[in-house]
Amino acid sequence: EFSRVVQSVTEQSGGEIQPDSIWTLFNEHYIQSEKIISLEDFNIQKNQGRETFSAMLDLSGQSVEIKGEGDGVLDAFIEGLKRTLNIDFEVMEYGEHALGKGADAEAVTYMQLKYGLRRFSGVAVSKDIISSSLNALMGAVSELLKENAAGTSVSTERAAS
**Residue 24 shares a structural domain with residue 94:** no
Is 145:156 a contact under the CB 8 Å cutoff? no
Residues of the domain holding 77: 33-160
Contact between 145 and 36 under an 8 Å Cβ cutoff? The reply is yes
Q: Are residues 138 and 94 in the same domain?
A: yes
- Note whether 24 and 57 are same-domain residues: no
How many domains is the chain partitioned into structurally?
2
> Whole-model pTM?
0.78
My answer on whether 101 and 135 are in the same domain is yes
- Tell me what pLDDT residue 161 has: 40
Chain centroid to CA 37: how far?
Answer: 9
91 and 148 within one domain: yes
Give 6-54 pLDDT, tens digit per residue. 566 666 777 777 777 666 666 666 666 677 899 999 999 998 889 999 9
Pair (52, 91) in one structural domain: yes
Query: Whole-angstrom Cα distance, residue 57 to residue 106?
Result: 23
